[in-house]
Amino acid sequence: MTAEPDRYRAPALDKGLDILELLASQPHGLTRAEIVKAMGRGPSEIYRMLERLVAREYVLRSVEGDRYSLSLKLYVLGHRHPPVDRLVARAQPLMDAYAKAAEQSCHLSVYDRGNLTVVAQTPSPGNWGMSIPLGARVSLIDTGSGHALLAFQSPQHRAEMLAAHVALDGEVPIGSAELEATLEEVRRVGLWLGESQQAYGITDISMPVMGLYGEAVAVLTSPWVRRIDRHVGPELQRCRELLQQAAQGLGLQQAP
């Protein structure tokens, strides 16, 4: 029987996508000869496909005519339905379900200009809870959200994030050795769980939302508040499990 991925093959489409993916990794573009060599295909078939991609404005040809690079057309198409809006639309039902089951609030954060920004939040369904408002800026350095995001990045991407970081009001400094040890532990267990560095009595649970290529694209965090009255809510371990299920349901790939 034919394998499922090859069941509906479209060689021409695959060839065009291969060219786009190759050029996406080359910020300065490639010559036609370099593209032919990298793809291991005949010069004539690459030439025809390149000409069509140039005609449809997915690929730009240099003024000299010897180099090809991606245009911004794919970027424009992708932003007709902004990625963050799509992420929030997918996340909100999962977050609402978590808040109801865990009786705790949660919020979703994404990387933004050296720190994180809260792009979605669900309050606790009860009378008690800790919640972070939409649009709040969250430190990359001294928060569970920041650690969960940084831990699941490539070394190069993590270095770029840290280089762009600007300390927020009240941020607690952390040395590079201590930060790396913290991130290593987060990678080992797959999440951040610990006392909040911003408020007493709060235990932060932060889960990475994993993207297609193995890096965290967002972080789902629940500032867990322990009830001490007669109402017995879900324990910390149960809330951790529920939040992990939500993050995995939202992500494209599970955290290692």
pLDDT of residue 143: 96
Tokens at residue 78, please?
């992708």
Q: Is the pLDDT of residue 135 over 60?
A: yes
Share of residues in the chain with pLDDT > 70 (%)? 94
Domains and CATH numbers, the chain: 4-77 (1.10.10.10), 83-250 (3.30.450.40)
pLDDT per position as a tens digit, 36-92: 999 998 888 899 999 999 999 999 998 877 899 998 888 777 666 678 888 999 999
| 8 Å CB contact between 141 and 192 | no
| 8 Å CB contact between 64 and 224 | no
| 8 Å CB contact between 36 and 68 | no
Q: pTM for the whole thing? A: 0.70
Q: Is the pLDDT of residue 1 over 50?
A: no
pLDDT of residue 100: 96
Amino acid at 237: Q
pLDDT of residue 68: 93
pLDDT per position as a tens digit, 170-193: 998 999 999 999 999 999 999 999
| 8 Å CB contact between 53 and 20 | yes
Share of residues in the chain with pLDDT > 90 (%)? 66
Alpha-carbon span 111 to 59, nearest angstrom: 29
